[in-house]
Amino acid sequence: MSTTAQKGTVYLVGAGPGDPELLTLRALRLLESADVVFHDDLVTDEVLALVHRHALVTSVGKRCGRPRITQAGIHALMIESAKAGQSVVRLKSGDPLIFGRAGEELAALRAAGIAFEIVPGVTAALAAGAALALPLTDRKSASKLIFATGHHAEGKTSAPVWTGSLPEDATLVMYMPGRDTARIAEELRAAGVASDMPCAAISHAARPEQQVAACALQDLDELSCGPAPLMLMIGRAMAPLLDGEAVETLELPLREAFESLTDKR
């Protein structure tokens, strides 16, 4: 494996939650050597600052249902750039293979005969757990971890965020849950989830502006959540958040770490 980006190849790279210190070495080397970078809106300026200064950097983000470019347009940009002999990084927030439409992009690259590589990144749920010093699984309370999303493909906007039973010993992580916590609470109650089940809304996970709000399921209807990007975590492993144990301990050190990083740059 070459340590630098190769001409004619597309790299689907995970940018992680936003802290450049959480990038893999592979991701860093590709950013420092790629000719072209197409990035999501959620990729932070701190990460983009690592891109080679002569690279062409273009945002192809789609936020809040208002796409700047269609998915087909993103496919075309990657393919055209690779066919022109350029090395291409498709930079995705978090991990490329978790709710990032990587399947569609990989299918387009395969159909066009374009060489590609996938570089994993730290997904938001794991980053949030680390920032809060809160294990998502725990031998005493949670032996299962479930990732779900409230964002569905076109034509499926009315689909439930959650259906079916939820094991008592599971931590359920909902990416992009939307703002209708009352609807989610109703679906969870219909699934038989206990009214005292701890729930947490994490906004801007593992960023200096991270916000956390926690409650029992019985109060989720009226939970005041922070701004997007947002995720919900439901499960007994979230119990320390109800007591405020995890929220207060990490907020200041996390902010200081980012300020220190900014000063060094």
Same domain (yes/no): 101, 136: no
Which tokens in the block code for residue 243? 């007591």
Q: What pLDDT does 253 receive?
A: 45
Which tokens in the block code for residue 1? 């494996």
**Which distant-in-sequence residues (6+ apart) come within 8 Å of 87 by Cβ?**
4, 5, 6, 7, 8, 9, 11, 33, 34, 35, 36
Do the Cβ atoms of 218 and 197 come closer than 8 Å? Answer: no
Which tokens in the block code for residue 194? 């206990």
- Would you say residue 3 has pLDDT above 90? no
Same domain (yes/no): 100, 164: no
Same domain (yes/no): 248, 129: yes
* Residue owning tokens 């990084």: 89
Whether 228 is in a domain gets the answer yes
CA-wise closest residue to 28 among 12, 50, 9: 50
Task: Quick: pLDDT tens for 28-52.
Answer: 999 999 999 999 999 999 999 999 9
Last residue of a domain, one of 122, 138, 169: 122
CATH number where 22 lies: 3.40.1010.10
What rounded mean pLDDT belongs to the chain?
Answer: 88
Same domain (yes/no): 16, 87: yes
Whether 218 is in a domain gets the answer yes
Do the Cβ atoms of 176 and 151 come closer than 8 Å? Answer: yes
**Which distant-in-sequence residues (6+ apart) come within 8 Å of 161 by Cβ?**
148, 150, 174, 177, 178, 183, 184, 187
Whether 108 is in a domain gets the answer yes
Total domain count, the chain: 2
Task: Quick: pLDDT tens for 196-244.
Answer: 999 999 999 999 999 999 999 999 999 999 999 999 999 999 999 987 6
Whether 265 is in a domain gets the answer no
Do the Cβ atoms of 201 and 213 come closer than 8 Å? Answer: yes
Same domain (yes/no): 16, 107: yes
264 pLDDT band, cuts 50/70/90, is very low
Whether 3 is in a domain gets the answer no
Instruction: Point out the catalytic residue in the list 62, 138, 219, 221.
Output: 62
- Would you say residue 88 has pLDDT above 80? yes
Same domain (yes/no): 116, 142: no
Last residue of a domain, one of 74, 94, 122: 122
Task: Quick: pLDDT tens for 98-109.
Answer: 998 999 999 999
Same domain (yes/no): 102, 141: no
CATH number where 174 lies: 3.30.950.10
2 pLDDT band, cuts 50/70/90, is confident
- Would you say residue 17 has pLDDT above 70? yes
Dist. CA 185–CA 195, nearest whole Å: 9
Catalytic status, residue 92: no
What does the pLDDT average to over 84-111?
97
Could you tell me where the DSSP H helices lie in 114-244?
124-131, 181-190, 239-242
Same domain (yes/no): 101, 153: no
Same domain (yes/no): 114, 224: no
Which tokens in the block code for residue 3? 């340590």
Same domain (yes/no): 106, 140: no
Same domain (yes/no): 131, 242: yes
Q: What domain range is 179 assigned to?
A: 125-252
Dist. CA 231–CA 129, nearest whole Å: 12
Catalytic status, residue 35: no
Task: Quick: pLDDT tens for 47-78.
Answer: 999 999 999 999 998 665 556 789 999 999 99
Whether 69 is in a domain gets the answer yes
Instruction: Point out the catalytic residue in the list 7, 19, 35, 40.
Output: 40
pTM for this model (two decimals): 0.87
